[in-house]
Protein backbone atom coordinates (compact mmCIF):
# COMPACT_ATOMS: atom_id res chain seq x y z
CA UNK A 1 0.00 0.00 0.00
CA UNK A 2 1.10 3.58 -0.62
CA UNK A 3 1.27 6.21 2.10
CA UNK A 4 0.51 9.71 0.80
CA UNK A 5 -0.23 11.27 4.19
CA UNK A 6 3.16 12.99 4.51
CA UNK A 7 3.00 14.41 0.98
CA UNK A 8 -0.56 15.64 1.50
CA UNK A 9 0.51 17.38 4.72
CA UNK A 10 3.43 19.04 2.90
CA UNK A 11 1.06 20.26 0.19
CA UNK A 12 -1.43 21.61 2.72
CA UNK A 13 1.35 23.47 4.54
CA UNK A 14 2.66 24.91 1.24
CA UNK A 15 -0.85 26.08 0.32
CA UNK A 16 -1.24 27.78 3.70
CA UNK A 17 2.10 29.58 3.29
CA UNK A 18 1.16 30.64 -0.26
CA UNK A 19 -2.15 32.04 0.96
CA UNK A 20 -0.38 34.06 3.67
CA UNK A 21 2.21 35.35 1.16
CA UNK A 22 -0.47 36.48 -1.30
CA UNK A 23 -2.41 38.24 1.46
CA UNK A 24 0.81 40.00 2.50
CA UNK A 25 1.50 41.10 -1.10
CA UNK A 26 -2.06 42.47 -1.49
CA UNK A 27 -1.70 44.38 1.77
CA UNK A 28 1.57 45.99 0.65
CA UNK A 29 -0.11 47.11 -2.59
CA UNK A 30 -3.11 48.51 -0.68
CA UNK A 31 -0.81 50.49 1.61
CA UNK A 32 1.15 51.76 -1.41
CA UNK A 33 -2.05 52.93 -3.13
CA UNK A 34 -3.23 54.64 0.09
CA UNK A 35 0.07 56.54 0.33
CA UNK A 36 -0.22 57.58 -3.29
CA UNK A 37 -3.81 58.69 -2.64
CA UNK A 38 -2.63 60.92 0.22
CA UNK A 39 0.00 62.45 -2.06
CA UNK A 40 -2.42 63.28 -4.88
CA UNK A 41 -5.37 64.11 -2.62
CA UNK A 42 -7.72 61.46 -4.03
CA UNK A 43 -8.57 57.86 -3.21
CA UNK A 44 -6.46 55.72 -5.52
CA UNK A 45 -6.80 52.01 -6.23
CA UNK A 46 -4.70 49.68 -8.31
CA UNK A 47 -6.38 48.15 -11.34
CA UNK A 48 -4.78 45.10 -12.92
CA UNK A 49 -5.01 43.53 -16.34
CA UNK A 50 -3.29 40.44 -17.63
CA UNK A 51 -0.45 41.24 -20.01
CA UNK A 52 -0.44 39.63 -23.43
CA UNK A 53 2.62 39.06 -25.59
CA UNK A 54 1.81 41.87 -28.04
CA UNK A 55 0.44 44.44 -25.51
CA UNK A 56 3.45 46.76 -25.66
CA UNK A 57 3.87 46.55 -29.40
CA UNK A 58 3.61 49.94 -31.11
CA UNK A 59 1.37 49.92 -34.15
CA UNK A 60 0.94 52.34 -36.98
CA UNK A 61 -2.82 53.22 -36.88
CA UNK A 62 -3.25 52.71 -40.62
CA UNK A 63 -1.46 49.36 -40.54
CA UNK A 64 -3.50 48.31 -37.51
CA UNK A 65 -6.78 49.17 -39.27
CA UNK A 66 -5.71 47.36 -42.44
CA UNK A 67 -4.61 44.27 -40.52
CA UNK A 68 -7.83 44.30 -38.51
CA UNK A 69 -9.86 44.28 -41.70
CA UNK A 70 -7.74 41.60 -43.35
CA UNK A 71 -7.02 39.30 -40.42
CA UNK A 72 -9.49 40.25 -37.72
CA UNK A 73 -12.20 37.91 -38.86
CA UNK A 74 -11.26 34.47 -40.09
CA UNK A 75 -13.11 32.56 -42.77
CA UNK A 76 -15.09 30.78 -40.03
CA UNK A 77 -16.43 34.15 -38.87
CA UNK A 78 -14.63 34.10 -35.52
CA UNK A 79 -12.36 36.83 -34.26
CA UNK A 80 -8.62 36.41 -34.49
CA UNK A 81 -7.32 34.70 -31.32
CA UNK A 82 -5.62 36.84 -28.70
CA UNK A 83 -1.87 36.64 -28.25
CA UNK A 84 -0.64 34.42 -25.38
CA UNK A 85 -0.47 35.66 -21.80
CA UNK A 86 2.97 36.54 -20.43
CA UNK A 87 2.23 35.77 -16.78
CA UNK A 88 2.59 39.43 -15.76
CA UNK A 89 -0.19 41.60 -14.36
CA UNK A 90 -0.12 45.23 -15.46
CA UNK A 91 -0.70 47.71 -12.60
CA UNK A 92 -2.39 51.05 -13.18
CA UNK A 93 -3.88 53.48 -10.68
CA UNK A 94 -7.49 54.62 -10.93
CA UNK A 95 -9.04 57.67 -9.27
CA UNK A 96 -12.27 59.63 -9.64
CA UNK A 97 -11.95 63.28 -10.53
CA UNK A 98 -14.22 66.06 -9.23
CA UNK A 99 -16.77 65.36 -12.01
CA UNK A 100 -16.97 61.68 -10.92
CA UNK A 101 -15.12 60.63 -14.07
CA UNK A 102 -12.60 57.82 -13.62
CA UNK A 103 -8.99 58.56 -14.57
CA UNK A 104 -6.25 55.96 -14.96
CA UNK A 105 -2.51 56.20 -15.23
CA UNK A 106 -0.55 54.43 -17.88
CA UNK A 107 0.88 51.10 -16.75
CA UNK A 108 3.10 51.92 -13.77
CA UNK A 109 4.74 48.53 -13.35
CA UNK A 110 4.11 44.84 -13.95
CA UNK A 111 4.26 41.93 -11.52
CA UNK A 112 4.69 38.23 -12.20
CA UNK A 113 3.83 36.21 -9.12
CA UNK A 114 4.54 32.56 -8.42
CA UNK A 115 1.76 30.28 -7.14
CA UNK A 116 3.45 30.44 -3.74
CA UNK A 117 3.44 34.26 -3.73
CA UNK A 118 7.21 34.63 -3.55
CA UNK A 119 9.44 35.04 -5.35
CA UNK A 120 7.73 37.63 -7.50
CA UNK A 121 9.21 39.68 -10.31
CA UNK A 122 8.53 43.38 -10.82
CA UNK A 123 9.11 44.78 -14.28
CA UNK A 124 9.66 48.53 -14.28
CA UNK A 125 11.25 50.57 -17.06
CA UNK A 126 12.43 47.40 -18.84
CA UNK A 127 14.19 46.13 -15.69
CA UNK A 128 13.14 42.94 -13.96
CA UNK A 129 13.70 42.80 -10.21
CA UNK A 130 13.10 39.64 -8.18
CA UNK A 131 11.60 40.02 -4.72
CA UNK A 132 12.02 37.02 -2.45
CA UNK A 133 10.06 38.39 0.53
CA UNK A 134 7.98 41.29 1.81
CA UNK A 135 11.02 43.40 2.75
CA UNK A 136 12.52 43.26 -0.75
CA UNK A 137 9.07 43.90 -2.28
CA UNK A 138 8.58 47.03 -0.15
CA UNK A 139 12.11 48.18 -0.98
CA UNK A 140 11.52 47.88 -4.73
CA UNK A 141 8.18 49.73 -4.55
CA UNK A 142 9.91 52.42 -2.48
CA UNK A 143 12.56 52.75 -5.15
CA UNK A 144 9.89 53.07 -7.85
CA UNK A 145 8.15 55.74 -5.74
CA UNK A 146 11.23 57.98 -5.98
CA UNK A 147 11.40 57.90 -9.79
CA UNK A 148 10.57 61.08 -11.70
CA UNK A 149 8.70 59.17 -14.44
CA UNK A 150 6.49 57.54 -11.78
CA UNK A 151 5.51 60.98 -10.47
CA UNK A 152 4.89 62.22 -14.01
CA UNK A 153 2.29 59.44 -14.35
CA UNK A 154 0.74 60.38 -10.99
CA UNK A 155 0.53 64.05 -12.01
CA UNK A 156 -2.00 63.08 -14.70
CA UNK A 157 -4.37 61.93 -11.93
CA UNK A 158 -4.39 65.27 -10.14
CA UNK A 159 -6.22 67.06 -12.95
Residues in a beta bridge with 159: none
Please give the pLDDT value at position 87. 93
Residue 106 burial class via C-beta count within 10 angstroms: exposed 0-12, middle 13-18, buried 19 and up: exposed
Overall number of domains in the chain: 1
Task: Identify the domain containing residue 75 by its residue range.
Answer: 5-158
pLDDT in tens, 102-123: 888 889 999 999 999 999 999 9
Cα(61)–Cα(79) distance, integer angstroms: 19
The CA–CA distances, whole Å, from 51 to 32, 115, 153 equal 21, 17, 19
Distance of CA 118 to the CA centre of its chain: 15
pLDDT at 54 over 70: yes
Are 24 and 134 contacting, i.e. CB atoms less than 8 angstroms apart?
A: yes
pLDDT in tens, 142-151: 999 999 999 9
pTM: 0.79
pLDDT at 131 over 60: yes
pLDDT in tens, 59-68: 555 555 555 5
Residues 6+ apart with CB under 8 A from 46: 29, 32, 33, 91, 92, 93, 94
Q: Is the dihedral of CA 148, 51, 92, 60 positive or negative?
A: positive
Amino acid sequence: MFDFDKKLEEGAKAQETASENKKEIRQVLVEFSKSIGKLIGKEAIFVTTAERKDDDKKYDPIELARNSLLAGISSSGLLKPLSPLTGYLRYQLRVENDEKKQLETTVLFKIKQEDSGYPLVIRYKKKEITCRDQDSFVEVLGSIATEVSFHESLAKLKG
